[in-house]
Amino acid sequence: MLQPGAQAPSFSLPQLDEGSRQFQQGKPALLIFFETDCPTCRLTIPYINRLAQLAGAKADVIGISQDAEAPTRELVEQAPIRFPVLLDGDLSVSREYDPQAVPTLFLVDGAGKIARTSVAFDKADLNAIAAEMLGEPFELAGKHDGAPQTRPGCVSRHLEPRADGELASSVNLYAERGARASRIELSDDVDPCEFCYLAGFADPLPVIPPTVERVERMLAATTLPPDRIVARVPPNYGMATVEKIAANAVMAGCEPEMMRALVPLIRAACDERFNIHGVQATTHFAAPLIVVNGPVRRELGFACGSNVFSNVARANSTLGRAFQLILANIGGARPGELDMSTLGNPGKFSYCIAENEEENPWPPLHTEFGFDRGQSAVSLFAAEPPHGVSEHNARDGRTILRAISRALATVFSYRFCFGWEAMVVLCPEHVKTLSRSGFTKDSIREFLFENTGIPIREYETDGGEGTQFTQLYQRATINGEECYRKFARPDQIRIVVAGGTAGKFSAVIGSWATGPRGSQMVSYPID
Amino acid sequence: MKTILVNPLDETPRATGIPARRLDALAGKTIGLLDISKWGGSFFLDQLEQRLKDRYGVEQIVRVMKPTFTKPAPDAVIDQLVNAECAAVIEALAD
């Protein structure tokens, strides 16, 4: 592989939809070699999109696909990729640069020398490359944005063993077209609403029958073809084509414009990090909580103020419901079948909030995943139902946070520490007091981490859940009492601002099992 | 006018499989025990292993564990059971 200091070979390759493109020295450039079926490449793309946007005219960002035109186009549309992509179909440029894995980034300076390289996914490398391109320190990949610090890539296509004469191609897991949905003709004496219920299309509430005309109106609101597979939905891995998504969106009562949010939401849910398979199949309370951020809140009418968790707005209720219908109808996790939750969760009808960014003096949730404030995004958290925290007498932020820390201590199970995350939904009145007391999002997280613990005396009485793992827990003195810390790290506490401007009620929402062995929060852009 | 609906349910084509033939006896067989890695699984499977050997004459037990109970078994785990040529596999959990 070419190393820093080496001259970057110039080349000419076909550019997707643009004829051909010459690469030669003269201007700083970032080359990214990728494959269309490499999950680590897909993880890296949003960071490179952002870097391309920030670099502007200062440097070129050029993608080099090691796959054929069709799968590359599919990835460019789906990811989406927002920088020019060249096609290295015969792998000649890959052989010259010789990356050992994908993605590999080569930063080339104005004199045509390789200044820096990065193999696979590495946040420190991304930040170093961003700093060099932008000419100042820049955190492109935040520590707590939900992605791992590093992740191995896939072997570069030119190093894959293959028979002589065989063309490079990949098993394309992302670009298949599915069959069109079947049509069901109802005779005049059948009530379509009752049919939907009896045919098992619905949650137990009535749905709008997905007539061909209604589904077509929904499809007209997206540029995606109806047979495009957006994702395979666990646990049954049913193919969620755009048409199937649209039919369920109709049933849930969505307006056609909601396809804009629903398609990225389904992609987010099927991201392996979120592990919707486990979230749907567990006996725990977990249900996926949707958090919407950015301008799309106003554009599609999402509520983020009073009653944010309730039946307050068509957008929140129908997006959440369409999502649940898709998980059951296409993913197969129906109550009593693959979904055997002991007590369930009222959020399985619909569980969708938007962040009240107007009342939030700190960076909103989606910026922690690397998005700009002006980018719309949808995030998912494997959530218990909300647990209210009332605090109307606090004169300073610390008193509010102490009240919240007591609720946080009970997440999952009182004495069970470390394996769980929590989302703290702060109401605007609490936010005002916290902000006046000088708190930031990070210092709130730190305070809650430092002050949430279970007294060790609680472990001395009898055995029980959480008592068998105390050797893994951290000890800390909280309010003069020896405790075990509830959380392993401050970033296990997520902060969201939502709710009405009257009332000092915040909420704590527990998680299901977290981290790589459970469900990790994900956030996807809405365009 | 007739009402025509778009089917909103999963219509993904799937291959059908035939269940393996049930065993007539356990004596002399190799049996796989798959622990899904919940906290109490090993206590339960220890008891099960002992009974299979003492009461039913099982010749060999192959113990395999999933890395996490929250996800399907990865291929490497399934391969261990396949390579051990188990006559049957019991998947078990205990909290």
A46 with A56: CB under 8 angstroms?
no
Tokens at A464, concatenated = 């029980």
A389 with A404: CB under 8 angstroms?
yes
3-state secondary structure A3-19: CCCCECCCEEEEECCCC
Taking all residues of chain A, what is their mean pLDDT, rounded to a whole number?
93
SS3 percent helix, strand, coil of chain A, rounded to 5, is 35, 25, 45
Q: Which B residues 11-50 touch A at CB under 8 Å?
A: 11-13, 39
CB atoms within 10 A of CB A304: 26
Task: Report how far Cα A119 is from the mean position of its chain's Cα atoms.
Answer: 23
Which pLDDT tens digit goes with each residue over B30-59?
999 999 998 888 899 999 999 999 999 999
Q: Which of B3, B10, B11 sits opposite A209 (nearest CB)?
A: B3
Name which of A112-116, A306-310, A312-316, B11-15 the model is least confident about.
B11-15
Q: How confident is the model at residue A100 (pLDDT cuts 50, 70, 90)?
A: confident
Q: In chain B, how many domains are there?
A: 1
Query: CA end-to-end span of chain A, whole Å?
Result: 36
Residues in B closer than 8 angstroms to A468, CB to CB, are 39
Residue B43 C-alpha, separation from nearest chain A C-alpha, in angstroms = 14
- Does some domain include residue B65? yes
Residue A389 C-alpha, separation from nearest chain B C-alpha, in angstroms = 30
Q: Which of B2, B4, B12 sits opposite A238 (nearest CB)?
A: B12
- Does some domain include residue B77? yes
- Does some domain include residue B76? yes
CA distance A382 to A274: 8
- Does some domain include residue B62? yes
Amino acid in the structure at residue A505: F
**Which residue range forms the structural domain that includes residue B51?**
30-92
Q: How confident is the model at residue A19 (pLDDT cuts 50, 70, 90)?
A: confident
DSSP string, A312-371: --HHHHHHHHHHHHHHHHTT---BTTTB--SS--GGGT--EEE--GGG--S--GGGGGT-
Which pLDDT tens digit goes with each residue over A427-450?
999 999 999 999 999 999 999 999
CATH class held by domain A11-159? alpha beta
Which pLDDT tens digit goes with each residue over A477-511?
999 999 999 999 999 999 999 999 999 999 999 99
Is A169's pLDDT higher than 50? no
Give Cα separations from B29 to A243, B19, B56, B83, B84 (angstroms).
50, 19, 10, 15, 11
Q: How large a percentage of chain A has pLDDT more than 70?
A: 97
CA distance B12 to A388: 42
Q: How confident is the model at residue A167 (pLDDT cuts 50, 70, 90)?
A: very low
**pTM score > 0.90 for this model?**
no
Is A113's pLDDT higher than 80? yes
Residue B6 C-alpha, separation from nearest chain A C-alpha, in angstroms = 5
CB atoms within 10 A of CB A394: 18
Tally the C-alpha atoms within 13 A of residue A375's C-alpha that lie toward its C-beta: 21
Q: According to the model, what pLDDT value does residue A282 have?
A: 94
Q: What is the ipTM of this complex?
A: 0.86
Q: Delimit the CATH 3.40.30.10 region(s) of chain A.
A: 11-159
Which pLDDT tens digit goes with each residue over A232-268?
999 998 999 999 999 999 999 999 999 999 999 999 9
- Does some domain include residue B55? yes
Residue among A426, A419, A424 nearest A489 (CA): A419
Q: How confident is the model at residue A172 (pLDDT cuts 50, 70, 90)?
A: very low
